[in-house]
């Protein structure tokens, strides 16, 4: 398996534009996590899915952020409209079962909103 795959690796967009980040889970994994990482705030958990269902979205900063899992192997994180303070590295991670095992991270998407 190629591991968790995120796209794009880098995204530069103008303030107010919609941004969609994509994540492909490791085959057979049933849990999906989205994180945001900045120097100031570290690695923040945004949302957690189990079996395609959002379980904990308390970390989603605002209504401008939304995440979906249209199927068991794919997820998107959308920011609309984007703002400069959304600039960060966004990671997704998957695990084999719930939160009981190690998480495998993707390479991340570096988002810059100008």
Residue of 69, 106, 111, 113 interacting with other proteins (CB under 8 A) = 106
Alpha-carbon span 71 to 90, nearest angstrom: 20
Residue of 11, 23, 26, 48 interacting with other proteins (CB under 8 A) = 48
Q: Dihedral of CA 106/108/38/33: which sign? A: negative
Question: What is the smallest separation between the CB atom of 54 and other proteins, expressed in angstroms?
Answer: 15
State the binding string over 2-41 for other proteins (x if CB under 8 A, else -). --x----------------------------x-x------
Pairing assessment for the beta strands 104-105 and 31-38 based on DSSP bridges: unpaired
Question: What is the smallest separation between the CB atom of 69 and other proteins, expressed in angstroms?
Answer: 17
Distance in Å from the first CA to the final CA of the chain:
36
Query: What six digits make up the tokens of 95?
Result: 């695990």
Q: What angle do CA 19, 97, 72 make, to 5 degrees?
A: 45
Of 74 and 81, nearer to other proteins (C-beta) is: 74
Residues that bind other proteins (CB under 8 A): 4, 33, 35, 42-43, 45, 48, 56, 91, 93, 95, 99-108
């Amino acid at each position: 398996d190629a591991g968790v795959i995120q796209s794009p690796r880098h995204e530069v967009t103008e303030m107010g534009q919609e941004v969609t980040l994509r994540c492909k889970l490791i085959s057979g994994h049933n849990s999906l996590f989205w994180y945001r990482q900045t120097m100031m705030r570290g690695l923040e958990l945004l949302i957690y899915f189990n079996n395609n269902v959002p379980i904990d979205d308390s970390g989603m900063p605002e209504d401008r952020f939304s995440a979906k899992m249209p199927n068991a192997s794919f997820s998107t994180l959308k920011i609309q409209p984007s703002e400069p303070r959304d600039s960060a590295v966004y990671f997704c991670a998957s695990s084999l079962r719930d939160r009981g095992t190690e998480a495998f991270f993707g390479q991340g998407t570096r988002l810059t909103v100008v």
